Structures are given as C-alpha cells and as structure tokens.
Structure 1
Amino acid sequence: MAGSKFNELCSAYSNAQTNFENFRLDCHSIATSLVDEIKKYMEIPEQRFSLYKINQNNEFQVVPPSLVNALVLSNDSYWHFGVGLTVCKADNSLQEELILVHLMIRKEIDNQFFVKYANHEEEFEVFKDQPESFHSFFDFLHETIIESYKERLQQFLGEKTERKLGYLQ
C-alpha cells in the first residue's frame, strides 16, 4: 500500500494543496503590505479607510476590518478586493464622499507580484519587504483620483456621495 497508485494520487493532492496555501499566504501578505503602506503613504486616518469584498456581480460589500474577509481569487488569477477612502470637504464637515477602488493583485510563478486597479491595463510590480516599491502605484492611484474630480462634473445631491474607480460593469 505504501507505493500504491492511490497513495501517489493522495500525495499529488497534498502537494497541490500545500502549493495553493503557500500561494494564498504570499498573496495575502503582499495585499496586507499594500493596505498598510497605502494608509501610511497617503496618511489616511483609520476612520476614513474601509475594506470591501468584490462579489460576483462586481458590487462592493463592506467587510470587517481584516483583509482576509475582503480577498477573493477570481478566474482571471487575480486576487480582488476593494478599499474605501472617505474624503470630506473639511475635517468636521458632514459633506463627504466614499471613493471605492477595486484593486487586483497577482503572483507569477517566479515570485513576482503585480498590482493594478480594475479596468486599467497597467500593472505595477511590487516586492515583498520593499514598501517603497508600492509608491509608484500609489502615486498613480492618487493622480487618477485627482483627475476624476477634475474631469467629471459631480452632482453633490446629498451629504454623502460615492465615486467608484476601477469598477467593473
């Protein structure tokens, strides 16, 4: 029984499970670094930051503040999740807008990691244990948000509005 064909199948299954778990943990780690670094780099107050799961209908669903609740592996081999940035006119203003950003992370076989936001082709390579490798992506994201305010006429109909970036329709 030790070297049976069935045991070989079980061993292959076990190896595949271990490989996937390592892949999942690596991607979770890089996503955690991305979240930690974006808050630090952009100086986002904790109460102005939120995490979202992107469901199968590409809708944002708020989740408890743990990234594991937001990450979803899709058929496109990307891990998808959303971040929410609540911006306001002034610190104590009731007028605010929730900016929802659909983020995507993927890992190559050779341990390369790439991040992008949905509906945009350009990927940014990021590296484990190199927080500065995220900065070009954050600068791009920052500029994209700024441009979305400059280019689009926004009707502020109420005190709370919403803006979606990288939202798949």
Structure 2
Amino acid sequence: MRALWPALTSHQETRGMPEAKTKYDEICLAYRKSRKTFLDYEYLCQVFARDLVDGMIEYFDWPQDQEITYIPLGEELDPNNRFYALSGAMQMDDESFWHFGLELTVQEPGGSYPLPFLMSFFIKKVGPHFIVKLGPQGKEIRIHEDRRGDLTPFYDAVFVQIMSFFARQYQDAVTKGLKEPGFIMLSPTADNL
C-alpha cells in the first residue's frame, strides 16, 4: 500500500513562503496555508479511497478483465463521457464526507446477462481515523490510519451488503426502481436486466 504524506509541522508549512509585509499579504498567506491544508486532506482521502477499492477488488478476486468505473454521485451521467478518475468522481458533501460511486458488473456463468451495480462510499478523516460510510445513511466505520493493511472485516461487511442486496432488494430494484439511494443500487447505466 502507498504511504500517506506525513502531517506537516508549522515550520514546514511556512518554509518557502514569502514573509508577509502587509495585512493583505498576511491574509493571502493564511489563504495559501488553508488551501494547502485542504488539498493535502483531499489527497489523503483520495489515496485512502483508492487503497480501499483496490484492496476490496483484490479481496473479492474480481476478474481483472472487468472494467471498474468511478462515478460522481448525484450527477446526470453522460453516456458518452462516463469515465472518471477517482479524483474526478470524488465530491464533498455538506458533512465533509468525500463521496463517490463505484460501478462493478456481475454476470451469469459464462458471461451472459451482465448487470452493472453501483456502490456509494463516503469517506472523511478525523484525527488518526478514516471514517467510512457504506451509502449516505450508512453506519460510520472507523479505520485507524495505521490499520489500513488489515481491512478484512471491512471487506467482509461490504460482501455481506452485496449479498443482501441481491438476495433481498434486487427484484424491487428491477421492478420498482429503488428511489432512495442506498449503499448498493442498480447502476443508472444498467439497461439489460
């Protein structure tokens, strides 16, 4: 797994920045420092999200020839331009969670009747913990930044949710089109049911 950037000390944050000569300069430096802190936070969450997804795909032994698509949640999808990098799909909600959709495809044995489904992940970092929610109303799962290599219980929880969706909610999703977004739903790109 990739290492996260270490937190910068106050000295490191100001090193290389010009000294403020006016009140305006002080305001601009405060903005620069705040913006850098936010961008570092965004990057940490992106790296964690990528590690989380990559680890989950590996844990599930997902076929390597199948496409994995990141989708921004809450946006109309342009069928001609629906491929996003994770960083482009991640957006922040009003509770400071970065959220994104992950589209995977399941199929009948032999590759028939492929069905894309969408999982929605919400991630933020508070102190030394990443907080992950499976769906907008999901329970918050705390993962210590030093325990990122041991995510088997998290992956098992995702597996249980996927199995539950196909056992209990799939028929309603197909026939009624589940209106409330949950952790798992049929992808907006699903057209062959």
Give the shorter-chain TM-score range.
0.7 to 0.9
Structure 1 residues 104 and 25: alpha-carbon distance in aligned structure 2, compared to 1, 3 A threshold: same
Q: Which amino acid aligns with 1:33?
A: D
> How many residues are matched?
161
- Taking only the aligned residue pairs, the percentage that are identical comes to 23
- Alignment of 1:13 with 2:31, yes or no, is yes
SS at match of 2:44: helix
Q: RMSD between aligned alpha carbons?
A: 3.1
**Residue 67 of structure 1 aligns to which amino acid in structure 2?**
L
* Deviation readout 1:10-32 (Å, 9 max, x if unpaired): 11111111111111111111011
Q: Deviations over 1:97-143 (max 9, x none)?
A: 212111110111x1311112114431222244644433222211111
The residue type equivalent to 1:134 in the other structure is L
Question: Which amino acid in 2 is paired with 1:50?
Answer: T
Query: How far is 1:144 from its partner?
Result: 1.2
**Contact conserved, 1:73 with 1:80, CA < 8 A, in 2?**
yes
1:3 alignment partner, one of 21, 26, 41 = 21
* Alignment TM-score, normalising by the size of structure 1: 0.79
User: Which residue does the alignment assign to 2:87?
Assistant: 68
Q: Which amino acid aligns with 2:128?
A: N
TM-score under structure 2 length normalisation: 0.70
Any conservation in 2 of the 1:49–1:83 contact (CA below 8 Å)?
A: yes
Instruction: Give the 3-state SS of the residue equivalent to 1:13 in structure 2.
Output: helix
2:106 corresponds, among 87, 94, 106, to 87
Change (3 A) 1:60 1:15: same
Q: Does residue 140 of the first structure (1) align with residue 157 of the second (2)?
A: yes
Residues 106 and 115 of structure 1 are in contact (CA less than 8 Å); yes or no, is this contact kept in structure 2?
yes
Q: Is the 8 A contact 1:89 1:95 kept in 2?
A: yes
SS of structure 2 residue aligned to 1:141: helix
Task: Describe the SS at the equivalent of 2:42.
Answer: helix
Q: Are the aligned partners of 2:120 and 2:183 in contact in 1 as well (CA < 8 Å)?
A: yes
Unaligned residue ranges in structure 2 (runs of 5+): 1-18, 186-193
Partners of 1:156 and 1:26 lie apart in 2 by 34
Q: Which has the higher contact order (CA 8 A, sep 6+)?
A: 1
List alignment gaps of at least 5 residues for structure 1.
none
The answer on whether the counterparts of 2:128 and 2:145 sit within 8 Å (CA) in structure 1 is no
Is the CA contact 1:50–1:84 (under 8 Å) kept in the aligned structure 2?
yes
What is the identity, as a one-letter code, of the residue corresponding to 1:16? S
